[in-house]
Structure 1
Amino acid sequence: MAAASLQESVGRKLLRRASAAWYATRLYGLTLPRQAPLELPVLPDEAWPGSVANADRLFQGRFVFAGVEVVSPHAAPWSMAASELKLDAASHAAWAAELHGFRWLRDFATQGGDMARRMARALIASWLGAHAQRIHGLPWRADVAGRRLSHWIGAAHFVLDGADDAFAHDFLLAIARHTAHLNNAAKRTPPGLPRFAATIGLVYGLEALGQPEQAAMQALCDALETQILADGCHVSRNPSQLYRLLREIVALWRFLLALDPERAAMLQVFLDRMAPMLRFFRHGDGGLALFHGGQEEAAAQIEQLLDLSEAKGKPLNSATLSGYERAIARRGLLLVDAGGTPPAQSDAPPPHRSLLSFEFSHGKDRLIVNCGASRRVGGGWAEALSGSAAHSTVTLGQGEPSVDARVSVMRNEQDGAIWFDLEHDGWRASHNRLYRRRLFLAASGEDLRGEETVAESLTGGMPVEAVLRLHLHPGVHASLIGSGDTVILKSATGQGWRWRGAGGVVRLEDSVYFGHADNGGADAPRRTQQIVMAGSAGETPLVFKWALTKIG
């Protein structure tokens, strides 16, 4: 079976390469439409607002995408190579995919005005002059072309308003050619997010041109089934990825709802599944938890998305398929990563080693968090932030837990209190040890306790340093007091908390926080602090105990 699967995978790769070579030929170009449609019968309105700040950056020739800023004041940098920009291949590919994907058109539409409209047209015309004739390379990768077509159609009202005949002709012809090309290429795109992006672009194109799109809609639903777990989480286990995907589905659903409710109903099952899971990840401030590459995102936009989805389902307490636990006690909220490491993706940062990490908030105050993720796919920050030391959990030695670690979780509730008994064997291969974590949230929501156990070596061996890290949100100020085992915390709203630890050496250290999105801006870490407790795990189990309680 494995050999047959490998053969199939190799066969698909060879087919994709052969298809790419065919698409790049002049003969293939002749098979695509050569006459522009007179109009687009139906067009969606842009569902989501852009960023005026990003529009201003684009006016200045600052192209800031995927955590990378490229300054090109005199011409759009459509064809700048990684070596010219001094970027690693992964960072350059992610930046170029955002550039050629044209999501930033909505930034000009949000800014509004004739100058923004002229700039948007100039950039589209510039791209058409550079890349419209030959279907080749990253600009014409099916997922990039699908995103571009989706955003061109979403911005069509804006860019066509008052446009001259020559631009309108070229723009409409490009939409027709993109649609015809994606009709060939989407089904050969690698499964997962790439196929979803290619297929949703195809659906928009067919709908805008008034062509049948039932098969494309079914292909889109099939692509979603491979991405969305039965409990509503995205397979990446990344809350931000769930948020971004739900935005795309809600926008298409609302567009189709006015045209054909039966086709819109094909997407309803995904809205009903995903919206409650997005609620699952929200802290009291309305933003998202920082797991597996996620960021807080904008609370107001999350709220708007959930309203527009019209999905009223409540979040689960235990999302066992996606590997998360959620405990609420009055104003206290505890979110626990109780799953394994997700598989690596070629177009994403390294998967996060965050086994049994957690975040805790009280009301609108985030207290204990994870460090978040770099927007840049490559580079040092992406690697560092994916490590277990960037998460509120225990690390052993200098290595990382195994990617195929097994995780077990037991949830208990009594009289409003909730506690978890958790274990993973990710340190078995490197240190022959198990790690157990017990987390207890009192019914008041103002008393969180932890017990961290590093078991004795299963086969003997040398002692190893164990370090508990509890990263604090930048809004929290911490001071070490007393005999060195107590930390006083002051939250962003002025609330006081006391943390006490036993079983190891306690200290405060600097940390970083990448949780705030800046509408596609370059990486901007915020300085913060972390509570650290260290000890040596030897022939007997090492146990750290700690308690976080609200003062007054």
Structure 2
Amino acid sequence: MPEAPTSLPPARFATRLAARLGEMWHGSPLYGLTLPRQAPLEFLSLPTDPWPGLAARADRLFQGRFAFAGLEVVSPHAAPWDAGIDSLNADPQSIAAWAAELHGFVWLRDFAAQGGEMAQRMSRSLVQHWIERHHAWSPRAWAAPVIGRRLTSWLGAAHFLLKDADAAFGHDLLLSVARQAAHLGRTALRESDPAARAEALLGLVYAAESLPGGHDKWPQALPNLILAWEACLLGDGGHVTRCPSRLFAQFRDVVALQHYLSAGHPERMSLLPLMDRMAPMLRFFRHGDGGLALFHGGEEEPGGALEHALLLSEALIQGKHGKPPASSAASGFERVTAKRALLLLDTGAPSASAMGRPHAAPLAFEFSHGKDRLIVNCGAARRLGGDWAEALAGPAAHATLGIEHARPAPHFTVRLQRHEQDGHAWIDAEHDGWQQAFGLLHRRRLYLGGNGDDLRGEDMLEGGAPDRPRAFTLRFHLHPSVHASLIGTGDTVLLKTQSGTGWRWRGQGGLVRLEDSVYFGQGGELRRTQQIVMGGSAAGLPVLLKWALAKIPG
């Protein structure tokens, strides 16, 4: 038997060694002496956070309930960073994500939304305690992306924090911002992941704008940030993770920074090209209720948030962004509209850049009519690891066809043709993700009538070995606002949407049943819902499943 390797490859070993030496240096008392020890006299200017917080979340924070990344730490009598998160029964990824959100202080905007003297006092108390507790470097609290988000949050909330504050708090805040910015200036560009690098550089840009002499100290902060943001985007303006929510998060950062840079200086419009690239793709993924589609870990996002961001962006460019494309080849999606109906189809492969676990559900789709979402994907739990993460990333959590309990091959090819005539549209697509494991090819044809009230589909399995039947399942997850009931001979399902509209779903070629399902599309919280399932065994090939969803006149 060959011996197991006893050492890492040289390049990987060198990277780990450099990171370890960097941690030892940053954590030493000597390193602290290289950071500013005198606070600047004042902030030159301060941004205004354009994004509203949620007072309901502030209520939880007042109770000492710190819920981030699917974990909640209850610490009513102690600061949350002293609460012992590592003792929780959670996977390391989720613990790290919880800590990053905690130390990133985005939740300060929830206190600002709550308003009032009590919210100000608690906000200042937590910031002051953090400064005292974490004045020196530590791996979690001083990770470059975390510092970047924290400086963005602190400076965006500074008007709220400093109102009626005593001089001592103002001094400590200025000094801490200066020290963290100095460290970021040395470490931000070392982040290999473009999204993490952008997170770090964003905080550095805000610090450069806010602190005296900041432009002279970090003259390349903004150009480097633009490069990092561009590296996160595909050619059509979509995000490299293919996740609509990740695109929206970056868009909000770009819009907020441009809003700050151009305040009083209209000529500083360097971020407009980025905004113009991203906005049409955000509209591409927007359903009629104003929220985003659930692909690759995304969520609907809070009501009105997307419209608010787009309106602020258009106010900055003094015009309208481009319309959403019908096809998005780089991102790998198709968008079909007819009157009030919207069909979104995933025609790409999982991205290696996705956070957590990439979703593998080729040819999954979502369908909405007006403000009613009917067919959806399940979304993703906030916790990044464990059984939920595994289940939600696979075909069974999406409106597509799965085989047994398998996942498609990590690399597969999708081929498609799109046709439109007299307002009607249909897409013929196929993927070979099941070829390697089962020798099967999945073909999907979707048709949307010109009035938007008639959606039909055909799903076919071809190839494989007839003597080795494989169980298949075709799923149609329903939005939690939709009520479903199985009627007739068992091949028909009646649907009633939140608006009171009736729809009829019919299927043939497989056993039709209604099953329980889950939905994580709103704030990452689990909601119970239902799914229509067509099942069978691919013994006699090819297998052809036909189905139709039609609005009931009324």
Aligned residue among 484, 495, 500 for 1:478: 484
Q: Kindly state the Cα deviation for residue 378 of structure 1 after the two structures are TM-superposed.
A: 2.2
Q: Which residue of 2 aligns with 1:281?
A: 285
Matched, 1:498 2:504: yes
Alignment of 1:41-80 (within 5 A): 41-80=44-83
Greater Cα offset, 75-84 or 36-45:
75-84
Q: Which residue of 1 aligns with 2:299?
A: 295
Aligned residue among 321, 324, 333 for 2:333: 324
Distance 1:32 1:143 in 2: 18
Amino acid at match of 1:456: G
Distance 2:373 2:184 in 1: 44
Distance 1:253 1:10 in 2: 40
Distance 1:126 1:379 in 2: 33
Q: Kindly state the Cα deviation for residue 80 of structure 1 after the two structures are TM-superposed.
A: 4.0
Q: Kindly state the Cα deviation for residue 443 of structure 1 after the two structures are TM-superposed.
A: 0.8
Distance 2:540 2:149 in 1: 56
- Give the conservation status (yes or no) of the 8 Å contact 2:73–2:83: no
Matched, 1:189 2:191: yes
Alignment of 1:333-372 (within 5 A): 333-343=342-352, 345=354, 348-372=355-379
Q: Which residue of 2 aligns with 1:3?
A: none
Q: Which residue of 2 aligns with 1:465?
A: 471
Q: Kindly state the Cα deviation for residue 300 of structure 1 after the two structures are TM-superposed.
A: 1.1
Alignment of 1:135-174 (within 5 A): 135-174=137-176
- Give the conservation status (yes or no) of the 8 Å contact 1:82–1:88: no
Deviations 1:498-552 (A, max 9, x none): 11111111111111111112xxxxx531111111001111242101001111111
Aligned residue among 415, 424, 442 for 1:435: 442
Distance 2:336 2:17 in 1: 48
- Give the conservation status (yes or no) of the 8 Å contact 2:75–2:83: no
Q: Kindly state the Cα deviation for residue 85 of structure 1 after the two structures are TM-superposed.
A: 2.1
Distance 2:322 2:71 in 1: 38
Distance 1:350 1:198 in 2: 23
- Give the conservation status (yes or no) of the 8 Å contact 1:480–1:486: yes
Q: Kindly state the Cα deviation for residue 77 of structure 1 after the two structures are TM-superposed.
A: 2.1
- Percent identity between matched residues is 55
1:60/1:372 CA distance change after superposition, 3 Å = same
- Give the conservation status (yes or no) of the 8 Å contact 2:299–2:522: yes
Alignment of 1:190-209 (within 5 A): 190-209=192-211
Aligned residue among 95, 114, 132 for 2:98: 95
Q: Kindly state the Cα deviation for residue 79 of structure 1 after the two structures are TM-superposed.
A: 4.0
- Give the conservation status (yes or no) of the 8 Å contact 1:231–1:321: yes
Amino acid at match of 2:322: G
Aligned residue among 179, 182, 187 for 1:180: 182
- Give the conservation status (yes or no) of the 8 Å contact 2:86–2:95: no
Greater Cα offset, 148-157 or 184-193:
184-193
Local SS of the residue matching 1:140? coil
Q: Kindly state the Cα deviation for residue 416 of structure 1 after the two structures are TM-superposed.
A: 0.7
Q: Which residue of 2 aligns with 1:28?
A: 31
Q: Kindly state the Cα deviation for residue 297 of structure 1 after the two structures are TM-superposed.
A: 0.8
Note the residue ranges of structure 2 that are not aligned, 5 or more in a row. 1-8, 315-319
Note the residue ranges of structure 1 that are not aligned, 5 or more in a row. 1-5, 518-522
Aligned length: 537
Q: Kindly state the Cα deviation for residue 318 of structure 1 after the two structures are TM-superposed.
A: 0.3
Distance 1:12 1:461 in 2: 51
Distance 1:9 1:122 in 2: 42
Alignment of 1:339-418 (within 5 A): 339-343=348-352, 345=354, 348-418=355-425
Q: Which residue of 2 aligns with 1:542?
A: 543
- Give the conservation status (yes or no) of the 8 Å contact 2:396–2:475: yes
Distance 2:272 2:145 in 1: 23
Alignment of 1:121-136 (within 5 A): 121-132=124-135, 134-136=136-138
Local SS of the residue matching 1:78? helix
Q: Which residue of 2 aligns with 1:253?
A: 258
Distance 1:83 1:44 in 2: 35
1:11/1:267 CA distance change after superposition, 3 Å = farther
Aligned residue among 123, 127, 137 for 1:120: 123
Q: Kindly state the Cα deviation for residue 240 of structure 1 after the two structures are TM-superposed.
A: 0.8
Deviations 1:376-426 (A, max 9, x none): 222332221111100000001121111111111211111111111111111
Q: Kindly state the Cα deviation for residue 461 of structure 1 after the two structures are TM-superposed.
A: 5.3
Q: Which residue of 1 aligns with 2:6?
A: none
Q: Kindly state the Cα deviation for residue 12 of structure 1 after the two structures are TM-superposed.
A: 4.7
Q: Kindly state the Cα deviation for residue 344 of structure 1 after the two structures are TM-superposed.
A: 5.3
Q: Normalising by structure 1, what TM-score?
A: 0.94
Distance 2:353 2:199 in 1: 19
Q: Which residue of 1 aligns with 2:3?
A: none
- Give the conservation status (yes or no) of the 8 Å contact 1:199–1:219: yes
Distance 2:127 2:494 in 1: 55
Aligned residue among 299, 311, 317 for 1:307: 311
Q: Kindly state the Cα deviation for residue 259 of structure 1 after the two structures are TM-superposed.
A: 4.8
Deviations 1:238-285 (A, max 9, x none): 1111111111110000100125445x4321111000011101101111
Q: Which residue of 1 aligns with 2:4?
A: none
Q: Normalising by structure 2, what TM-score?
A: 0.94
- Give the conservation status (yes or no) of the 8 Å contact 1:82–1:89: no
Q: Kindly state the Cα deviation for residue 21 of structure 1 after the two structures are TM-superposed.
A: 2.5
Local SS of the residue matching 2:534? strand
Distance 1:23 1:385 in 2: 39
Local SS of the residue matching 2:241? coil
Distance 2:193 2:528 in 1: 38
Distance 1:202 1:260 in 2: 20
Deviations 1:274-314 (A, max 9, x none): 01110110111111111111111123111110001115211
- Give the conservation status (yes or no) of the 8 Å contact 1:442–1:448: yes
Q: Kindly state the Cα deviation for residue 479 of structure 1 after the two structures are TM-superposed.
A: 1.1
Q: Which residue of 2 aligns with 1:520?
A: none
Distance 2:165 2:478 in 1: 52
- Give the conservation status (yes or no) of the 8 Å contact 1:456–1:539: no
Amino acid at match of 2:445: R
Distance 1:276 1:8 in 2: 41
Distance 1:474 1:460 in 2: 38
Deviations 1:203-238 (A, max 9, x none): 001110142144111110110111011211111111
- Give the conservation status (yes or no) of the 8 Å contact 2:287–2:368: yes
Aligned residue among 223, 232, 257 for 2:228: 223
- Give the conservation status (yes or no) of the 8 Å contact 1:16–1:189: no
Amino acid at match of 2:474: L
Amino acid at match of 1:69: E
- Give the conservation status (yes or no) of the 8 Å contact 1:349–1:383: no
